[in-house]
Structure 1
Amino acid sequence: MVEVGAEHGVDARKCLHDTGISPEMLHGGSNTVVSGTQELAVAANLVTATGNASGVGLAVGERLSLRAYGVWGFALLTCPTVRGAVDFAMQYLPLTYAVTGLSMRVSGGEACLIVDDDCSSAALRPFLVEREIAVTAGILRTILGESPPSMRVELRLPRSPSVDYEKALGTPVRFNAPHNAIIADVAVLDLPLPQSDPLTMTVCERACRSLLSERCSPCVTQNVRTIIAEGVTDAGLIAARLHLSARTLRRYLAAEGTSLRHLVDEARRAKAIELMTLHRLSVEQIALRLGYADAATFIRAFRRWTGTTPGAYAVHQPSRP
């Protein structure tokens, strides 16, 4: 992003302003770690400094070759087919730079890899979509050795006369589409990859599994707990507070052995017990406080959490003065 900024006349320090990253840190090799929040802050600075110019995301995405993804990228090369590479990529997506959601849909003889930008900041959305589309198209070309003849790109973005999207992506592009996606004949999924190697793939997957465990910050769960404690339980709103897509948030929580529903239930259970035992509120009052439609719905939830009803639970608690 700093390199692309320089090409647009944006000084490195302007790109890195108020991110906690110095130009010197970018040359720190493996000793320098940039968080996802910092990365998005740099992206926001770049987008602002370039006047939200079209094509900036494409330029960044073109620089992210498969080598930039380390063992994750190497693993994709060794998968048996395109389908296997897509499945592997999705499973270990948190190891990449992707901050938008990605999903695969097969319909009408076509495979559609959709870039979900709904949870992205409106200001960053065009940049992130361009970047993810450029990266994904580049990865597909690399693992196959060429772009599939049937491949095309559809973007929700309007066409910019100043950017040659077709040349940058090496494929036809349709604008003002209902989604952002890379589309190809479904037969492409079963194409064999020229560098497939089952043994090497097994070794790479083991390494990716280990990296996923190390890199998924244990702070994510605690940060989500903090936000839930403020009364926010919507996945999209929580993800936006953490500068993540909802899908990425779910993947991080899954890697930490939990889920958003579990954390919300955990918070509601603790609050229900507090209101019941310390404040002596009625079931109806607790249900209202916790946002349930009625007492019966709350009672069912409480039974799911504790295995018993609120009344039975309260009977077995020690009395308080």
Structure 2
Amino acid sequence: MNLWYDIDSPVIAAHEFPAVLIDLACSRDIEPDKLLRGTGIFMDDFLSGQLTIKPQQCLALIGNTQKWLPAADTAFLAGHRLYPGNFGPAGTALTQAPNLMEALQALQAYGFILTPLLTPRLSLDSEFAYLYWHESCAESAHSAFLRHMMMTAVTSLCRRLCGLSLPWEYFLPDEAQHPEQYAVNWGNRVRAGRHYTAMRLPRALLSTNCPSGSASMAMIARAQCERTLGSRPALGFIAFIDQCIRKRLPGHVSLELVADELQMSPATLKRKLKKHGSHFQQRYDTVRKELAIEWLTRKQLDVEEIALRLHFHDSRNLRRAFKRWTGVLPSAL
């Protein structure tokens, strides 16, 4: 059994994530044939409820959605429509969670179904809960669309589950392009230009009850997921490589060690990374950048300690790398 899915693996049920984009376009009087052109998806197959498509087909569908629905609010509208959706037991585990903590844990556990193109990672400290979003299969021209869609989906879901708006904060890697959409859909707690993608909430709010949730239904749904989904790969290839690197740090990391862990040759790993639009040094630097930002801003570690953990010769080398990664020095954070 593969531990990951590739960009050309047919693992995404068309009636789950892709259906939201198709239905949104149809609601705006866009002909389905236009939306599906060049994707390799056909409407009759989609309506059968049996079609599974590849991540690269889903990305092509997003590209067509942006072409035919170029308005600034398209990604946000799609996000509001995403959940509960037609996601089977994974959707039930998400929407029947008895409290917010279990809902976010279900989102992380079954992200390969609920959000197959971006991987959510829940991280807790003494004060806050962070929901980070990572590339799953490939970095693409549609990353901003996906960020807006998925963060809106979680915001909308939490409001529906808890019966109130939660004080989420939003961290985006780019500068805000459509501030009016953030204000309407997310409120005024948007922090742009932060070099990572995450949502943050006071940890105490994770115990917030979901009035419409059912602990027994959520438990049954999770058991069904374990029985029927246990053999499916839980991470896209890029997310899986990043996870391998993240787990190895602050220990030694190399292409050869990761290839050995995946039981493939270094040359095969290089070819697979190239197929997914990346290479090992890019993955290594991406993970080190993410950890450096987390350790600087959340753990308040000093630069010398972070340099040691991330295998830089000294703090000056880390500062140079950080400037190259983010455009600013660590002190700016």
* Bucket of the pairwise TM-score, normalised by the shorter protein: 0.5 to 0.7
Tell me what 2:192 maps to: 175
Question: What whole-Å deviation, never above 9, does each CA across 1:83-103 have from its counterpart, x for those lacking one?
Answer: 222223212222223311211
Change (3 A) 1:129 1:22: same
Give the partner amino acid of 1:199: S
Question: What whole-Å deviation, never above 9, does each CA across 1:203-241 have from its counterpart, x for those lacking one?
Answer: 111111133136549xx9xxxxxxxxxxxxxxxxxx6xx
Tell me what 2:83 maps to: 65
Tell me what 2:35 maps to: 15
| TM-score for the superposition, normalised by structure 1 | 0.61
Q: What's the offset of the Cα at 1:62?
A: 1.4
Give the partner amino acid of 1:25: D
The 10-residue stretch of structure 1 (41-50 or 82-91) with the greater mean CA deviation from structure 2: 41-50
The answer (yes or no) to whether the contact 2:76–2:152 under 8 Å persists in 1 is yes
Change (3 A) 1:212 1:165: same
Correspondence list, 1:1-321, <5 A: 1-5=21-25, 11-28=31-48, 30-49=49-68, 54-107=72-125, 109-117=127-135, 120-148=138-166, 150-161=167-178, 163-169=180-186, 172-213=189-230, 216=233, 245-247=238-240, 261=259, 264-267=262-265
With a CA cutoff of 8 Å and minimum separation of 6, indicate the structure with the bigger relative contact order: 2
Q: Which has the larger radius of gyration?
A: 1
CA-atom RMSD, angstroms?
Answer: 3.6
Question: Secondary structure at the residue paired with 1:102?
Answer: strand
The answer (yes or no) to whether the contact 1:112–1:182 under 8 Å persists in 2 is yes
Change (3 A) 1:248 1:49: farther
The whole-number CA distance in structure 2 between the counterparts of 1:267 and 1:55 is: 45
Tell me what 1:307 maps to: none
User: Where do 5+ consecutive residues of structure 2 fail to align?
Assistant: 1-20, 245-257, 269-333
Give the partner amino acid of 2:220: V
Q: What's the offset of the Cα at 1:193?
A: 2.8
Identity rate, percent: 18
Question: Secondary structure at the residue paired with 1:182?
Answer: strand
Q: What's the offset of the Cα at 1:14?
A: 2.8
Question: What whole-Å deviation, never above 9, does each CA across 1:228-285 have from its counterpart, x for those lacking one?
Answer: xxxxxxxxxxx6xxxx54249979xxxxxxxx755643447x9xxxxxxxxxxxxxxx
Change (3 A) 1:263 1:139: same
Tell me what 1:310 maps to: none
The whole-number CA distance in structure 1 between the counterparts of 2:129 and 2:22 is: 34
Question: Secondary structure at the residue paired with 2:159?
Answer: helix
Change (3 A) 1:211 1:43: farther
Question: Secondary structure at the residue paired with 1:105?
Answer: strand
The whole-number CA distance in structure 2 between the counterparts of 1:192 and 1:161 is: 33
Change (3 A) 1:160 1:183: same
Q: What's the offset of the Cα at 1:10?
A: 5.2
The whole-number CA distance in structure 1 between the counterparts of 2:179 and 2:208 is: 35
User: Where do 5+ consecutive residues of structure 1 fail to align?
Assistant: 221-238, 252-259, 271-321
| TM-score for the superposition, normalised by structure 2 | 0.59
